[in-house]
Structure 1
Amino acid sequence: MDIEVRLFATLRQGREKKQIIEITEGTRLSQIIEGFGIDERDIAILLVNGRNVDSDFEPSNGDVVAIFPPVGGG
């Protein structure tokens, strides 16, 4: 199965902003996040096809995963 993973803001540092990756059925988002070397504590918003999900979600073929860090500023 292929999914598209989009990284935003600081999560793009040293990584591509958009990638198509191949996963097997039953793969959880937490495993994908780990594969990118991202600590789950650094994620504020996790979306699949525009819907908020948690890291235990199992994406399907063709899904688009968007990963956002916390927003900082003053």
Structure 2
Amino acid sequence: MIIRFKLFATLIQSVPETLRERYPQGIRAGSPLEIDLPEGSTLADLIDRLALPREKVRVIYVNGRARKLDYRLVPGDEVGVFPAIGGG
């Protein structure tokens, strides 16, 4: 199933080379990306497939709603993955 996702801030640095190769124009924070996952995959599966360090992932939105790693994805879901963001 195809899942659309966006990575924000420093998470973009963790994108594996195999995914970068699919986007020769480059990948920037917030760029819409797609990945094919097996039916029944969870957000944890997505994070692992993208090789994102789990300790850096703080908030994940699916279709505009915050979700936990055990959320089961369905075709057409749009996911936003955010690291911890600080300010001062």
- The verdict on a shared fold, with TM-score over 0.5 as the criterion, is yes
* TM-superposed deviation, 1:4: 0.3
Contact 2:14–2:52 (CA under 8 A) maintained in structure 1: no
The answer as to 2:76 corresponding to 1:72 is: no
Matches of 1:62 and 1:53 in 2, distance apart?
16
* TM-superposed deviation, 1:25: 1.3
Count of residues in Structure 1 that have an aligned counterpart in Structure 2 = 74
Paired residue type of 1:5: F
Which runs of 5 or more structure 1 residues have no equivalent in the other structure? none
Q: Which has the larger radius of gyration?
A: 2
Please, what TM-score do these two structures have when normalized by structure 2? 0.76
Which runs of 5 or more structure 2 residues have no equivalent in the other structure? 16-26
**Secondary structure, in 3 states, of the residue corresponding to 1:52?**
strand
**Secondary structure, in 3 states, of the residue corresponding to 1:12?**
helix
The answer as to 2:53 corresponding to 1:61 is: no
Please, what TM-score do these two structures have when normalized by structure 1? 0.88
Matches of 1:37 and 1:61 in 2, distance apart?
21
Identity %: 35
